[in-house]
Amino acid sequence: MEYSLEEVMETVQMTLYHNFDIRTVTLGINLKDCINSDLDIFKENVYGRVSDYGRRLILEAQKLEDKYGIPIINKRISVTPVSLIIEACAEPDAPYQIAKALDKASKDVGIDFIGGFGALVQKGMTRADERLINSLPEVLSSTERVCAFLNVASTVSGMNMDAVIRLGKTLKEIADRTENGIGCAKFVVFANAPEDNPFMAGAFHGVGEPDFSLNIGISGPGVVRSVVEKNRDCGLTELSEVIKRTTFKITRAGELIGRELAHNLSVPFGIVDISLASTTKVGDSVAGIVEMMGIEKMGAPGSTAALALLIDAVKKGGAMASGNVGGLSGTFIPVSEDSCMNEAVRVGALSIEKLEALTAVCSVGLDMIAIPGDTKAETISAIIADELAIGVVNNKTTGVRLIPVPGKRAGDYVNFGGLLGETYVMNMSAFSSHDFILRGGRMPCPVTSMRN
Amino acid sequence: MTKEQVFITVIGKDQKGIIARISNAVFAHNINIEDLNQKIMGGYFVMTLLADITDSSITITRLKKELSLIEGEMDLKIQVQHENIFKTMHRV
């Protein structure tokens, strides 16, 4: 036989026992040619485009799941940033109306999330951007599947602190309007947002993209954890090699399925995002890999180094496997969606300060973190500013998805349900950032960005 | 025409008739068995069967459904996967 029994079994066991799956196939769709100054026609165009392609995406993805025996967990769509396409509509509720059309199209055909309700405001806001930001609390509390993003900072533009100030208040407002503040789980704020990210909540179809682009996000923390477990005693150089080889294999599988799916949909293949993405399932945890490497609990001294080694090995293996690596391609460490992260918070091993340090070596940032409902808006803005400063200065993507849970205090338990998981509310610093944050303006770009 | 080949992988407790049941099921759909490999690994019966479905009219989805009946009756785990996934993952 061309393949040994061991080789075949390695692949089979990845899906059967180690939760290997294609986390998401995300079809990017350009909506600029749907624009019409008549809002009703515009909405119809948007609904038609999204539902047509959404239906086909689900059908073709299902066929490939069967063909290759690898589950495709999420089928998603990302669209042109909505602030751009509503420029021509004078109606004050145009952002809300478009969000409703996107939500309905997704629900009708079974797309689980649709991303792109957002704006790029790193240098300043247009009137359309402002309208979109104003609509966020209403949109995120009255739609089910629409995900929102804002890019408020970049290495070449610096950080729009006026936008950051507004976001502190906006997040609290979204939280107040949804149960357990869950609307905030559908909203991420970025520095250096990638235009081809397939993962929610931050996926959008950037302006540099073609009409369509099929992007794929693989997942395999369980697979990596199992090879780390098999190599308990080796040195870190060898451990890195082992992780590289494994990531190579799972990335190749993702690339195969992504390319074939794009071909079957007659759209260009975009990128493979090689990020390790955890789920709430036991054993499917990124923190679990770090702990298997020899750290007692995620957050203990050594965690940052271990995570840095992990993400580097993942990138090297992935880069060898695919010429189309893109998106975020880091290692996600969401708190509520990762069982070991959550446990580390519960036992006091992981604080928000250590999380911030961890995100200096991995994407994508402070993710799915519950904070006390009475956290001041300026403090939320300050946490966002800290995290995005790491991205700006280090020329990388960072993001923030914080959930100020109404009525909850540090240490309280909160269950967001389903894939969003459960967590314990983080303790916040008792000291104020008020005066610094309220200075506003734009934080200048770092000198390292001046490369021309 | 390029060959369409799938791997059928069977894992479970060793018992009489596993190979017979699986090969009968594929034979009934004009599927040729190209290769077969079996072993006891860690106390479990493990078999990989490379099947050529080029001349068969059955879809992989349908074949999976049929094999899932045997899976249930004999308490096995049966996976059907197109050969390309193994080529992609294990050959550079």
pLDDT digits (tens, 9 = 90+) for A177-236: 999 999 999 999 999 999 999 999 999 999 999 999 999 999 889 999 999 999 999 999
Specify the pairing of strand A413-415 against strand A422-424: antiparallel
Please name the amino acid found at residue A325: V
CB B68 within 8 A of CB B15: no
Predicted pLDDT at B43:
82
* Amino acid A178: pLDDT: 96
Please report which confidence band the pLDDT of residue B1 belongs to, taking 50, 70 and 90 as the band edges. Answer: low
pLDDT (average), residues A412-440: 95
| C-alpha of B90 from chain center | 19
SS3 B18: helix
Lowest mean pLDDT among A170-174, A399-403, A406-410, B87-91: B87-91
A66/B90 Cβ within 8 A: no
Segment A237-258, tens digit of pLDDT: 999 999 999 999 999 999 999 9
- What share of chain A has pLDDT > 70, as a percent? 100
| Closest chain B residue by Cα to residue A249 | B89
State how far the Cα of A363 lies from the Cα of A174, in Å rounded to an integer: 25
The pLDDT-based confidence of A17 (bands split at 50, 70, 90) is confident
Strands (E), chain B: 5-12, 32-41, 44-52, 76-82
For A7-21, what is the mean pLDDT? 89
Q: Which amino acid is at A407?
A: G
How far is B87 from chain A, CA to nearest CA, in Å?
8
Kindly list the residues of chain A whose beta carbon comes within 8 Å of any beta carbon in chain B. Answer: 1, 3, 5, 7-12, 15-16, 63, 66-70, 249-250, 252-253, 255-256
Nearest chain B residue (CA) to A255: B88
Most distant CA pair in chain A: distance in Å? 70
Shortest alpha-carbon distance between residue A130 and chain B (Å): 47
- For residue A1, the model assigns a pLDDT of 60
Chain A CB contacts of B64 under 8 Å are 66
Contact B90 A15 (CB under 8 A): no
Do the Cβ atoms of A124 and A115 come closer than 8 Å? no
CA gap A7, A297 in Å, rounded? 33
- List, for residues B47-68, the tens digit of each pLDDT value: 999 999 999 989 999 999 999 9
Which value does ipTM take for this structure? 0.91
pLDDT in tens, A280-334: 888 889 999 999 999 999 999 999 999 999 999 999 999 999 999 999 998 899 9
Residue contact A8–B86, C-beta within 8 A: yes
Rounded distance, CA B89 to CA B92, Å?
8
CA B55, B56, B60, B64 torsion-angle sign: negative
The answer to whether the Cβ–Cβ distance between B50 and A1 falls below 8 Å is yes
Taking residue A49's Cβ as centre, other Cβ atoms within 10 Å add up to 20
Peptide bond into A370 cis (omega under 30): no
Which of A1, A15, A68 is nearest residue B82 as measured by Cβ atoms? A68
From A397, A389, A401, A386, select the one nearest A334 (Cα to Cα): A401
Sign of CA dihedral A201, A206, A210, A216: negative
pLDDT tier for residue A80 given thresholds of 50, 70 and 90: very high
Per-residue pLDDT band at A444 (split at 50, 70, 90): very high
Cβ contacts (< 8 Å) between A256 and chain B: which residues?
84-85, 88
Rounded to the nearest 10 degrees, what angle do helices A303-321 and A236-265 cross at?
50
Encoded tokens for B58: 């059955």
Which amino acid is present at A160?
N
> At residue A135, does pLDDT exceed 90?
yes
* pLDDT of res. A318: 94
Rounded Cα gap, residues A314 and A323, in angstroms: 15
- The answer to whether the bond into A364 is cis (omega within 30° of 0) is yes
Query: According to the model, what pLDDT value does residue A92 have?
Result: 92
% of residues, chain A, pLDDT over 90: 91
Decide if A271 contacts A207 (C-beta within 8 A).
Answer: no
Kindly indicate the confidence band of residue B92, based on its pLDDT and cuts at 50, 70 and 90: confident
In B, which residues are within 8 Å of A16 by CB distance? 11, 77, 79
Give A219→chain B minimum CA distance, Å. 15
- Can you name the residues that pair with A422 across neighbouring β-strands? A415
Interface test with A, best of B86, B91, B92 (most A CBs within 10 A): B86
pLDDT reading at B41 higher than 90: no
Is residue A377 within 8 A of residue A411, CB to CB? The reply is: no
Q: Give the nearest partner residue to B82 out of A1, A16, A67, using CB atoms.
A: A67
pLDDT tops 70 at residue A79:
yes
For tokens 């899976």, the residue is: B71
> Which residues does A80 contact at the CB level (< 8 Å), separation at least 6?
A29, A30, A31, A32, A116, A204, A205, A207
Residue A331: the pLDDT is 86
Residue with tokens 């609307």: A183
B16-25 mean pLDDT = 92
Residue contact B48–A256, C-beta within 8 A: no
A335 near A370, Cβ under 8 Å? Answer: yes
Quote the minimal CA–CA distance from B39 to chain A in Å: 8
pLDDT over 80 at A391, yes or no: yes
Please write the tens of the pLDDT for every residue from A43-54: 999 999 999 999
| Chain B interface mutation, best of A67, A227, A272, highest count of B Cβ atoms under 10 Å | A67
Residues 6+ apart with CB under 8 A from A317: A243, A244, A245, A246, A247, A248, A251, A274
State whether B81 and A7 contact (CB < 8 Å). no
Q: How far, in Å, CA of A361 to CA of A364, rounded?
A: 9
Say how many CB pairs under 8 Å bridge A and B.
71
Nearest residue to A223 via CA among A308, A291, A295, A285? A285
